[in-house]
Structures are given as C-alpha cells and as structure tokens.
Amino acid sequence: MTATASFTIDSPLGPRTATVAYERKGSGEPLLLLHGIGHHLQAWHPVSGILAAEYDVIAVDLPGFGASAPLPPGVPYDLATVAPALGALCAALGVERPHVAGNSLGGLLALEMGRLGLARSVTALSPAGFWSQAERVYAFLALRAIRAGARSLPPAALERIARSAAGRAALTGSIYARPGRRAPEAVVAETLALRGATGFERTLAAGGPVRFTHDLPGLPVTIAWGSRDRLLLPRQGLRAKRTIPGARLVRLPDCGHVPMNDDPALVARVIRDTAFDTAFDTALDTEPGTGTGTRTGAGPLPRP
C-alpha cells in the first residue's frame, strides 16, 4: 500500500518541505528503489516482491512523478537537490544508508547518493549521465516524443490499445524489450503517470549538462545494462566502467531500458549480488568494492 512522507530538504531557497509517496515491504537491511524519468514506483513491482524476502524494500515515487507532489516552487530538480532530499527521506523513515538501486534517472541518483555517502551499495540499471552529447540529444528527443504520444491519447483509446500485445508494444516498446509481458493495466497506469508527471520538463532541463564523472572507491557498485536498450545505448556502460573502475559491469541479455519487467529474476539477482558484496567485505574485514567478478551469470557488455 502506498504511503506518503513529508520532510525538510535543503534547497538554494533555504529549507523547504517535500512530500513523496512510497511503498515499503519486507524486512532486513534497507533497500531503496528509484525509478526513471516519467515512470513511477510501480516500475519495480516485478522485482520488489522478490527482494522483500530478504530486504526492507522502499520503492519511491520521485518528487514530481507518480503520486509524489512536485518540489516546492523555485526548487530545482537537479542532482544537488534531489539526491540529498532522498537521504532526508530515508532519515524521516528511520533508515540509515540503505542499499540503493535505480534505473535510468534513478540510477544516476543512486550513484550520486553513493558519492555523498548516503548508500551502502549502489546498483545502477542503465544509468543516465554517461552519454555523449549526441546520445543525450537523442535520448531527450525520444523521451519528449514518448511523453507527447502519451498526452495525445484519450483514456478510452489508451485502454483499448493496451489490451493487445501489439498495442502494448506500440506504447512501451521503446523502454521494454518484451512489452507483451507487461499487464494491460500496468501499461495504462504508467502511460497516465508519464502524461501527468509535473517534474518531467524541469528534470530534463536540469539533466542537460549532467555528466557523472566521479569514482566511488570503497563502495560496492554494479552498473548493469540491457543488451536491447534503445534509449541509452549499451556502449555507455563502457564509459561508466572507465569512470568507476571498481564497479562490476554486467550485461542483461534480452533486456531493454527498463529491465525490471523484462527479466525480474535476473535484476533481483544483480541487486542481491551487489548488496552481498557489502556483507561479504564486512565479514572478511577487507576493503569493500574491490571485486571485479560477477556471480550473476550475466556476462560483460560487448564492445560496440
């Protein structure tokens, strides 16, 4: 069941109050799940139930997306504001340094939380911020086109289109490699979430100049990329690996930009493996994040 939390965030305008929606289930070490731009926390539903068997799973609607309120007027949707705000949310929920997994925009936010010392491990699925200028322009144009399509469909037409596998492919084929697996009601809900996302344009505007250029030494990090990602091309994973040399780079076969729907079991395993590194390194009293192998069975990304 979705709940809401209000908490104080720091902003260029001074302290302000933010309110976000979240779902929490399971028990164990805390695990924060962050969705991509225009999506909502339900993107994690194929995976969150699996992870809740081992973790205290908190899936969040980012500010201005899903059921979360927009940020207060004048507060920017940039990394410097949103990543610390997620840390403030965790504090409000009684959570200290969760494992963090994020997809796309959420992956970039997860990495930034790791950089700020707000995460105990990071799993970034096709994270933003490792693009070339041409790749960023392409992705932003594609995102705007997807949103324009979502906003142009009357609800009755949307529901009718989503009933067929071909219709779901037309609506979500840009982000899923296997859109036919997505339930019709889920496709309708995420399309409505995209069209109603109050933070969409301001997030895109803030993301224009973003490049993630920081190493994260001493932190278990996995960068995972769908082999069929059509929005952020898989070769960007190689740049991410060069930026974060200690990260594990994992290929997700036959997965698109939002892999949680395409292969939930594999995505859950990748997240568990990353979190396991924390426990493993602590048990051995070794420096965390130094491993370069993978226990997921998903091979390395191919060179473009």
Q: Which residues contact 121 (CB under 8 A, 6 or more apart)?
A: 99, 100, 114, 219, 220, 221, 274, 275, 277, 278
Q: Residue 150 falls within a domain, yes or no?
A: no
Helix (H, G, I), strand (E, B) or coil at 100: strand
pLDDT of 293 over the 80 cut? no
- pTM of the entire structure? 0.91
Helix (H, G, I), strand (E, B) or coil at 21: strand
Q: Residue 163 falls within a domain, yes or no?
A: no
Q: Residue 207 falls within a domain, yes or no?
A: yes
CATH number at residue 273: 3.40.50.1820
Q: Which sign does the torsion angle of CA 294, 296, 299, 300 carry?
A: negative
What are 250-275's pLDDT values in tens digits? 999 999 999 999 999 999 999 999 99
pLDDT of 303 over the 70 cut? no
AA letter at 243: T
Helix, strand, coil shares of the chain, percent, nearest 5, are: 40, 15, 40
pLDDT at residue number 280: 42
Q: Residue 301 falls within a domain, yes or no?
A: no
Contact in structure between 85 and 18 (CB atoms under 8 Å): yes
Q: Residue 198 falls within a domain, yes or no?
A: no
pLDDT at residue number 278: 67
pLDDT-above-70 percentage for the chain: 91
Domain tally, the chain: 1
pLDDT of 298 over the 80 cut? no
Q: Residue 140 falls within a domain, yes or no?
A: no
What are 227-255's pLDDT values in tens digits? 999 999 999 999 999 999 999 999 999 99
Q: How confident is the model at residue 284 (pLDDT cuts 50, 70, 90)?
A: very low
Q: How confident is the model at residue 1 (pLDDT cuts 50, 70, 90)?
A: confident
**Distance between CA atoms of 231 and 172, rounded to whole angstroms?**
12
Q: Residue 86 falls within a domain, yes or no?
A: yes
pLDDT of 92 over the 70 cut? yes
Nearest CA to 109 out of 98, 96, 124, 99 is that of 124
Q: Residue 289 falls within a domain, yes or no?
A: no
Q: What angle do CA 126, 130, 135 make, to 5 degrees?
A: 90
pLDDT at residue number 297: 37
What are 23-67's pLDDT values in tens digits? 999 999 999 999 999 999 999 999 999 999 999 999 999 999 999
Average pLDDT score over the chain = 91
Residue ranges making up the domain that contains 19 = 3-134+203-284
